[in-house]
Structure 1
Amino acid sequence: MRRACVETTHDDAATIAAALRPDNTPSLSTSVTDDVVRTTVDRRTSGGLGSTVDDYVVNLTVAETVARTAREHRHTHE
């Protein structure tokens, strides 16, 4: 078994984690502590691990972009 742990810091970590959860598979486990999103990926092969981490990072980037845009939009209209 191969394992990777990705930890990222966000202003709204709970929102980011919630946005990522629908894409989780049985090989992914995501938790939130304060401003840190921690996702552990377990796969049988190195290639599978790399592919899953790559997909996760793309999804993470989209979630962060949407959350940031929503934050900026909310502050602009307050």
Structure 2
Amino acid sequence: MSRHARIESTFESEEAARQVAATLRPDNTPEMETAVDGTTVVTAVERETTGGLGATVDDYVVNLQVATQLTTTDGETSTTTDNNE
């Protein structure tokens, strides 16, 4: 029996959601799928064990935080954590 998780993150615009999803996809394993639904990034994860699912979700959340920091509200990517520049 597999374990499943679905993670949804909503952004200010569809463009921001697309940028975040594009940043996340290269780190996905074959058991992960990331899609954009309007302003929401949806990632589904499937693992055989609860521990494996927890570790994958933890890694994903860290990657999501970094991808979000790199995406500014004007649609440009940034290497700073201050999106007001």
TM-score when scaled to structure 2?
A: 0.80
Q: After TM superposition, list the pairs within 5 Å mapping 1:23-62 onto structure 2.
A: 23-62=27-66
Secondary structure at the counterpart of residue 54 of structure 2: helix
The count of aligned residue pairs is 74
Q: Which runs of 5+ in 2 are unaligned?
A: none
Share of identical aligned residues, percent? 50
Q: Which runs of 5+ in 1 are unaligned?
A: none
Shift of 1:72: 3.3
List structure 1 segments (4+ residues) > 6 angstroms apart after TM superposition. Answer: none
TM-score when scaled to structure 1?
A: 0.87
